[in-house]
A and B are shown apart, each in its own frame.
Chain A
Amino acid sequence: MNSRTTTFFKLAVMAGVLAFPVFGSDFYAEMIAKVMILAIFAMSLDLLVGFTGLVSFGHAAYFGIAAYAVALLTPKYDPANLWLALPASVLAAAVAAFVIGLFVLRTKGIYFIMVTLAFAQMAYYVFHDTPVGGGSDGIYLNFKPDAAIAGWAPFDLNEPLHLYYFVVAAMLFAYGLLKLVLRSPFGRVLVGIRSNEHRMLSLGYATFRYKLAAFTLAGALAGLAGFLYAVLFGFVTPEYLSWHKSGDVLLMVILGGMGNLAGAIAGAVALVGLQEIFTSVTKHWQLLMGLTIVAAVLFMPGGLTATPARIMARINGGKGNV
């Protein structure tokens, strides 16, 4: 696809998403909101995996920490203030990512994968085993955060339609922010680190600081996703931090094609779509999921976004892989 059709395609999708809740059912509107939240989550991980070359296998930790933050900040019989709870939750995730980043970024390659996983497990057990987070039952969020500023509320998150557009806005914000970051000199350094960290070091860049900043930013955006997820579904459980969640989001990034923000979104759509289809077919849907993943790795290198180009190349008489 050339860039004009791509832009047209993106605009068409965006228009569809914006118009959907007006015409479509509530059930699917909630599902689209869920997909958009997971897309934020996947884009935040793509900043690390696809652009900086850091394969984090514990990204669910920041998602879950922010989700727990909003649940813990919400009083039992009152809503929390959105303008307080949202920044506080994102900050909690960012601080966690910063601190954990100090440890994990000392390691590389296989170690990095396993150490990020282990720290995420540690966070999981904090909420699972200690009384902080209500144990394995999790916490119900009885009230969605209140958007009032000094008595005046621009919107009400209890209205499904308002919440939907709030999520749309958040996703556009995350997409725009990451685009800006990647276009900036900072983003160029991250891409440089992915292709050759030693070269960046010898060019005089303190790569550790850049990686830590990227790790923290990715954690904060994962936190934004976790916040929205908790608000949308109204409860949090330790499963939000489990390594299955970390695996799922990694899957979205890779399914969509790494190093491509639109790909991360496509990955989120694909994963939720597949889950929906498979669960409607059988109780043992994870078997189909597993087979799909294995097949995707073996036969579809480059992910979904690279596949049209590969198919086109085949059709145009190209001899092999692109």
Chain B
Amino acid sequence: MGLIKNIKSYSEGIQISADKKEILTSFLLNGFPTTKDEEWKYTSLKKVITNDYSIENKGEIIDSSIIEKYSLGFKNKIIFSDGKLINTPTIKGVSITGFSEFESATTDSILQLNKALSQNGFTISVDKNTVVENPIEILFFLTTENSFCQYRNQISIGENSEVKFVERIQNLNNSSSFINHFTQTNCAKNTKVEFNKIQNNTAESQLIDTVNVYQDQDSTCNINTLIFGGSFTRNNLNFEQNGSNCESNMNGVSVLNDNQLADNHTFVDHKSAHCRSNEMYKGVYLGHSKGVFNGKIMVRPNAQKIDAFQSNNNLLLSDNSSIDSKPQLEIYADDVKCSHGCTIGQLDDDALFYMRSRGIGIEEAKAVLTYAFASEAIENISVEQVKTLAKNLLAQKLNVDLDFSL
């Protein structure tokens, strides 16, 4: 039948408002993006959407041992089971509730679908002048087989506040799943926010994760993306800098094997003067995996004194892996410093030889070099537990025991 038909029959059975209906009609008319769409040129959704999915999900109770297994051990946990919010922590100065309606851009059909039909997600608002000491951990569990689940989250951070998030989506069975995840974040003046996305789901999991960040002056927003698992992962990170002295940082590490596909799309819209953005994406590709990177930096007229830096480095370590990279600069102001660099290559033979001649096995030598390659981006993560997890997952994926203390 395919997902579109699942969505059609699901939507016929529920009541939605007139404007949502309009958006849904528009989605059904356009359908999912195809490779003819410039933003989806290298990433085909065809296989993802031909499967059948169940849209109404049960939301089973999750055993605490399972939560423990996938948690990084933070005190403050928000837990979802199949879209249902089953646990919210109490944090001073932070209000955490379930799904609520909010206005958002519907720039592509994925966001249209999310806006029209999503009923799940969280709403977080952080008061002014609040520093949340411990990171807030958000766990999304899937228990239903072959489920299609949509999340729609909104975060508002009050002036001068600071908060960190650690997000993880976990399928608890081995069936195929598809998640359309959307988070809208509003950063008020002088706020600091960090997102850590751990994307290490089961082999048949598919994810489209869109984050729209709207930044006011003096705010800093960091998003770290770690892609290790899942068969299909597409990340859309969109930053809009609406005040001066904003900073947007992105770090990404993808280590893929088998038939995995990871697509990182980033867009930084520099609308105000005196702002900065930094992007560092590292990809390691094994097996038949495929990587896609599309980084766009836009500097609007009059947004002078912008420093924008973007780098995308890739290691192709197997015969059948491939990478498509498209770094873009669109600059309409003259007093800026913008650069992007992209490299695609292999491990240095000389370095490998050097290590082997000193008694380090080929696999370990490769792992050490690969680790060194990826660590530049991992080191930018400020949450220790996430950093350690990233290192462990990297070693696991490379099939070695990295002995030195990481």
* A and B pair up: no
Interface residues of B (CB under 8 A from A): none
